[in-house]
Structure 1
């Protein structure tokens, strides 16, 4: 278990903190949450997250997402990797494909951090 805010992953950072409306973040906590929010701040990644969440069964592979964008498959894969590394997407390899699913617990933690409701 991390011993201080500097050791936290973005996912842990989102869960560690009180809602912004009740307690100000420390500089370290804010810095730890930034990668998570930066991952969401890109329009392509935000759309990808939404498409994966809304996809049948709550998961999708790159092959399911390519047609929604005028981007190459490697570019889409890069954006999915950023979302995964930020803790927003889970992934599971099946044969030659990697399937992504939204980590709804992390989205709830972000909502709690920003909105203060649980």
Structure 2
């Protein structure tokens, strides 16, 4: 698993700690319930995120870069547009690692 060491784990946790980044992930995952994709057939581009969240392009680009650097987004270039989708494997690995590291086993709970 690629996110088992402390540094990648911390980088993902920092990326997820920002409310704007969580909104971006929700939007890309389709969790907002809106039909917001306009220029993309799969994934979302910065222009769609910008419009949906009413944020400046530079702010959206910064947050997308942080999510991408943490490994939480896949990027696909098509023509002049970059499309982003959730890296579900990385997110699942992160959740599994947190669960394994910090959950109490029945043995520990009984001590």
Following the alignment from structure 1 to structure 2, what is the Cα–Cα distance between the partners of residues 34 and 87? 12
The size of the alignment, in residue pairs, is 93
In terms of fraction of residues, the more helix-rich structure is 1
RMSD (CA atoms): 2.3
Structure 2 residues not aligned, in runs of 5+: 31-35, 101-111
Higher relative contact order (CA 8 A, sep 6+): 1
Which residue pairs with 1:36 in the alignment?
Answer: 12
Q: What displacement does 1:33 show? A: 1.2
Larger radius of gyration: 2
Moved segments of 4+, more than 6 Å? none
Aligned match for 1:99, one of 75, 83, 96: 83
Q: TM-score, normalised by structure 1?
A: 0.69
